[in-house]
Structure 1
Amino acid sequence: MNGVPTDSETLTVSAAARRLGIAAPTLRSWERRYGLSPSARSAGGHRRYSPEDLARLRAMVKLVNSGVPTAEAASTVRDRIYPVRSPNVTSATSVADGPRTLVRRPRAAKPVEAADLFQLANEMDGMRLTHEIARSLDRSGAVEAWTSRLVPLLVGVGEQWERTGKCIEVEHLASDAVAGGLRYHTRRAIERHKPDESTRPVVLACLELEDHALPLLALAAALAERGVRVQTLGAATPINSLSAAVRRIRPAAVFIWSSAPRTADAEALQTLARTRPSYSLVIGGPGWQALGTPTGWVPTLADAVDALVTAAHR
Structure 2
Amino acid sequence: MMKAVPPESETLTVGAAARRLGIAAPTLRSWERRYGLSPSARSAGGHRRYNGEDLARLRAMMRLVDQGVPTAEAASEVRDRSYAGSSQLVTSATSAAHGPAKAAASGAAPPSRARRTPPSTQVDLFALANAMDAERLTHEVARSLDRYGAVEAWTSRLVPLLVDVGDQWERTGACVEIEHLASEAVAGGLRYHTRRTIQRNRPNETERPVVLACLERENHALPLLALAAALAERGVRIRTLGAATPVTSLSNAVRLIRPAAVFVWSSAPETADRAGLRTLARTRPAYSLVVGGPGWQGGGKPDGWVNSLADAVEALIRAVRPAG
Q: If the length of structure 1 is used for normalisation, what is the TM-score? A: 0.64
Q: Secondary structure at the match of 1:235?
A: strand
Counterpart secondary structure, 2:245: coil
Give 1 or 2 for the bigger CA radius of gyration. 1
Cα distance in structure 1, aligned partners of 2:169 and 2:298: 25
Q: CA deviation at 1:294?
A: 1.2
2:202 is aligned to: 194
Long gaps (5+) in structure 2: 1-118
- Structure 1: 4+ residue segments shifted above 4 A: none
Give the whole-Å Cα distance in 2 for the aligned partners of 1:200 and 1:246: 11
Residue-pair matches, total: 204
Structure 2 Cα separation of the partners of residues 205 and 227 of structure 1:
19
Q: Residue 122 of structure 2 aligns to which amino acid in structure 1? A: V
Residue in 1 that maps onto 2:47: none
> What is the rounded CA distance, in whole Å, between the counterparts of 1:163 and 1:261 in structure 2?
25
Q: Which residue of 2 aligns with 1:32?
A: none
Residue number among 98, 121, 125 corresponding to 2:133 in the alignment: 125
Counterpart of 2:229 in structure 1 is 221
1:259 counterpart (244, 267, 271): 267
Look up the match of 2:122. Answer: 112
Distance 1:186 1:202 in 2: 14
Match of 1:287 in 2: 295
Q: 1:279 and 1:161 mapped to 2: Cα distance?
A: 41
Q: Could you list the per-position Cα deviations for residues 203-222 of structure 1 after superposition, in whole angstroms to 9, with x for gaps in the alignment?
A: 00000010000000000000
Which residues of structure 1 form unaligned runs of 5+? 1-108
Partners of 2:197 and 2:188 lie apart in 1 by 14
1:96-245 to 2 correspondence within 5 Å? 110-112=120-122, 116-245=124-253
Q: CA deviation at 1:312?
A: 1.0
**8 Å contact 1:111–1:136 — kept in the other structure?**
no
SS in 1 for 2:190: helix
Please show how residues 34-45 of structure 1 align to structure 2 within 5 Å.
Answer: none
Aligned to 1:94: none
SS of alignment partner, residue 231 of structure 1: strand
- C-alpha distance in 1, partners of 2:159/2:167? 12
Percent identity between matched residues is 75
CA offset at residue 110 of structure 1? 5.0
Letter paired with 2:235: G
For residues 240-296 of structure 1, what are the alpha-carbon distances to aligned partners after superposition, in whole Å with 9 as ceiling and x for unaligned? 110001000000000000001111011111101110110000000010122322100
Which structure has more RCO (C-alpha within 8 Å, separation ≥ 6)? 2
Residue 32 of structure 2 is matched in structure 1 by none
> RMSD of aligned C-alpha atoms?
1.2
Q: Which residue of 1 aligns with 2:8?
A: none
| CA distance, structure 2, for counterparts of residue 192 and residue 305 of structure 1 | 19
1:196 CA drift (Å):
0.9
| Partner of residue 67, structure 1 | none
Counterpart residue identity of residue 270, structure 1: R
